[in-house]
Amino acid sequence: MNRHAESLAEALSELFCENVAVKHRESRELDGVKLILAEISYRTSGSDSQSSKRVRQTVTVLDEDINVPQFALFPHWKGIAGMVFSAIGAMNDVNFNDSPKFSADYMLHAWNEKAVRILFTPELREYFSRHAGWSARGNRSCIAVFQQGHVCKSEELDEFLNTSVEIFRLLQAGEKELDRHPEINREAQVQDAYAAAENMGGIAGRILRKELDRIALSSDEVQQFLAQPVPRLDIPAGMQRQVIPDVKMLIAMGVVFSVAGVVVPVLIFLVLQGNDRLFAIPFAAMFLLAGGLMLFLSIRHGKRKHRLLRQGTVQTGRIERVERTNTEINSRRRYVLHISYDIGGQTRKTTANVYSGIERAKSLADQNAPVRVLLDPNDEKHVLCVDSLLIT
């Protein structure tokens, strides 16, 4: 891996689903295991500044080749907080009948439960059971081990590193066990998300199932959609919901601002006298401009996406890389796909914003696999990577 601080921060940001800053990093090798020791910080996500907090902690990151399914392990919340957490069902918890202490002490979240069950061998579960308070996160080529919110003091460092090395060794053994099961995908599929929703239960599980049902898109639907002559008249509902953003609220706000930009200045003009009526001019200009922009941009964006689906031509391309951004829209992280495709004997490059299907896109990029790209006939830079959609 041998990451510099910038790329390490990017990898850990992806792993922790937060914007991670790396304050200090150093490479170590202990008992033949290469790792990176780092102090990181991030602010937990929250709807406002009061509901978020700054977290600082020491982490170790495995600095060797590995490929693991996505997982997050941390100590169970106890008491009232744990009861509330269970009722909400905020995460699916993978439990093991043959490791009751591990299951009682730890929350193990996984989208791909089959793969994570194999990764967490009995020896790994036993080790965590004997070492309470540790946490670990992993996904693809990155694994981090830490104690939540704890910054190591110098006198604690040797024990911290020794424990980290042992956890890494056991995770590497779990990866070898996964290698013996090539029939099991390490990348989470849509059906794995359905299974996780069932396991989660509670409010969160119901919300996830409802959202998956809303955007569900089968392989057959995709094939039939692409086989239609242009302009395509039958667009699957799941594809529309994944590709065309819901801008009803933005349109409604644009209408409200535009109406206010007319009505309120008229009232000001009728109620006030003399020069006071001049207040109506900046008010009308500001609200009409804001409302007009909202309406124009939302309607234009929707029309472009409709045109892409109905009239787009199918090309073969590749995902060069997947870039994580710091932008969130409706609590969904925006990613940028860097895509290349051939047209007229020339290779073109462009980008596409996506908010879901990230793991699938990364896997396709790593494999340098060909992907189906829908190309806007009016704008060759406006594309849709069909294979990055959530397809069952």
Q: Which of 288, 307, 326 is a domain's end point?
A: 307
Find the largest Cα–Cα distance for the chain: 85
CA-atom Rg of the chain in angstroms: 25
Domain of 130, in residue numbers: 5-179
293: β partners:
none
Answer yes or no: do 31 and 150 share one domain: yes
**Is 68 inside any structural domain?**
yes
What element of type H or E holds 2? none
**Model pLDDT, residue 354:** 85
Q: Are 216 and 237 in contact (CB under 8 A)?
A: no
Asked if 298 and 344 sit in the same domain, the reply is no
- Same domain, yes or no, for 123 and 160? yes
240 within some domain:
no
Taking only the tens of pLDDT, the chain with its 392 residues reads 434 445 898 889 989 988 899 988 999 999 999 999 999 999 886 544 455 688 999 999 999 999 999 999 999 876 544 444 444 445 678 899 999 999 999 999 988 899 999 999 999 999 999 999 999 999 999 999 999 999 999 999 999 999 999 999 999 999 999 999 999 988 877 777 777 777 766 676 777 778 777 888 889 999 999 999 999 999 998 888 888 876 677 778 888 888 888 888 888 778 877 777 777 888 788 888 888 888 888 888 888 999 999 999 999 999 999 988 888 776 678 889 999 998 878 899 999 988 877 888 888 898 899 999 999 999 988 999 998 888 88
183, with CB counted inside 10 A (0-12, 13-18, 19+), is: exposed
379/321 same-domain check: yes
In a domain, 236, yes or no: no
Domain presence at residue 210: no
229 lies in some domain:
no
Contact present, 239 and 353 (Cβ < 8 Å): no
Q: Give, rounded to a whole angstrom, the gap between the first and last alpha carbons of the chain.
A: 32
* End-of-domain residue from the set 122, 148, 179: 179
If one counts the domains in the chain, the total is 3
Examine the domain organization and report whether 22 and 157 are in the same domain: yes
Same domain assignment for residues 170 and 263: no
pLDDT at residue 119, rounded to an integer = 97
Nearest in space to 309 (alpha carbons), one of 247, 241, 215, 212: 241
- Say yes or no: 165 and 274 in one domain: no
- Show which of 256, 286, 307 is a domain's final residue: 307
Tokens read off for 146 = 């830490």
Helix 202-215 vs helix 190-200: crossing angle, to nearest 10:
150
SS3 265: helix
Q: Is 195 inside a domain boundary? A: no
- Statement to judge: residues 167 and 26 lie in one domain: yes
* 100 and 140 inside one domain: yes
DSSP state of 76: P
For residue 14, being part of any structural domain is answered with: yes
292 and 171 co-located in one domain: no
* Residues 297 and 321 placed together within one structural domain of the fold: no
Residue 371 placed within a domain: yes
Q: How far is CA 304 from CA 11, 199, 264, 348, in A?
A: 33, 39, 33, 20
Are residues 50 and 83 located together in one domain of the fold? yes
CA–CA gap between residue 145 and residue 147 (Å, rounded): 7
